[in-house]
Structure 1
């Protein structure tokens, strides 16, 4: 029987786009065909006990490709008779690939890239490490053309020739219009208001500051507009200071980090979704894709997408939403005002977005692609 060892730092109960990706893939394997090796996390025992496959937690809060962790990964591959390995994020754990193959004889090793590997690809020392990962694996996956180009250049022609596209998906049954969002609106005082939702970690790349700066203009035309920020992160204190400086204390709601399973109710409580992400640090920090854009579209919302990395791949510009300059409050305000003052047009965009996501962005399709890449004869 074929079995895959998933090695990852990105696994629930930690929250984030990569965590959602890896968890969705893991739960689609036959239950006796997958084992997860991951880092420790508060709340993990209760979470893992509900899963139908083994999850082995290392004591460390973060897995790194050290000799100890590599030895343990190899021991798990042997213990569970794994014949393939999937690194949920290629860098840095993919650096274990050569030793794992040598010591366990696994037939296939696949490493998945997201957005942060672009930094590796464009930084001299890290670039050479990424090339080692490419050389030691059977396939390096990419999200879209914007991330493939720099990563392919870094890993070299041979490994680039083995690259394959692997994108996340959306559960369009869980994320859909028609759910009851009244509890969210009541909890955060949103009844009767026009809600702009942004669900993302509070970090500079996501562009919540641009959204806050745009809100002053938006409220001149749409006085009841409010920004609902779902997520936590190190940028929160600065964002709160910005809200106070812009005199928007009644216009911005910080909902904090929320479990992923609660997000559908937040989407249906909103009128539009906006995350004006932007590329930072001279191209080293980009948005890999953005599952939240797809979830919002599945829930029937028009989406406003920042022009960073692969984020524009999540929208049909002008049809299911808009791609905007994530550094421009004026551009963000203009598009959001148009959507909030024309509900019929916004609703039509949301309907087209849902249809597109349901057709093109299903989790089952993504899992089938991963299973092909992990097979002995892909």
Structure 2
């Protein structure tokens, strides 16, 4: 009988010990990188016939063509010589691509760590003419949003590129401050004839100004001399800020939109942009456009950027050294924006496209709202407005009281 009662405390001790041990562990969603060798990655660039788009990204206009990025995959080429009936004609497979710019029939694109150059003078025979290797820190590894940690144990970025992720659930021992910024582990950072340059939207990270291509990543700016269009030269890289998402050029200045505000750089010395000032706001996703003495930027709330409210801000930049807030207007779900004359076009996400009269920048007025569409970014061209939203490419003509639809083209 005594042995039976002596056994009970041992059971309690064992159960208590297991419970205590379990409290030291938790289930964690871990992202495991899928790798490709840099050799295979670089050999995978190809120009093919049109294909289905996986995830619609940014838009870029050049001559009679519209380029639409397939996020992290490549670029779709659309013949827009007849805006009523645009037609996909080519697909450029560029793994790790996020941005492009075009000048005089040469297309510049990022491919993860590399800058690649294509000759598009004959759109039916696009060719890769140059590659500058390892000139970028990859600024978007597309880590799955559900991931709480990243398994870096097998990453060799000297010889490999991350091309995807697998998320698994693992039982891990709790560690204080274990989940530090998963974008910054192990040095990984998560940018004669008249010249013809294309035009991107407000979400762009590439800008061509005269003989220079400016690119911006999460924290670093890379400056390429493109005087010889087919043979760009990396002239300079410099720290440009933090959490940078977009870049806009106006006059002799670059305006960098970050999650923390807007950075202003003077490019009078084009190979070495000079920091002028920073306008700081609460944290939020932040594209910016500029017209004259005012910058217009949107901050989107209720998302990974940390912003609570969604607003349009008007910034007085008449004194570049001391930009000041001139106005703030509530929005629903803003993304990109653009300017044509006195009209400010704002993509308000699922709330549609909104038009503001900015004749008086200190008191802009909402004049029109197109609420039955999704909108993400716009490019106000001379004679038409391009807009992408959801899986649709929209084209509008300007009319007296707003815009009128020319065509809507399904990108999928």
User: Into which bin does the TM-score normalised by the smaller protein fall?
Assistant: under 0.3
Task: Name whichever structure is richer in strand by fraction.
Answer: 2
Task: Name whichever structure is richer in helix by fraction.
Answer: 1
Larger Cα Rg: Structure 1 or Structure 2?
2
Ranked by relative contact order (alpha carbons within 8 Å, sequence separation 6 or more), the top structure is 1
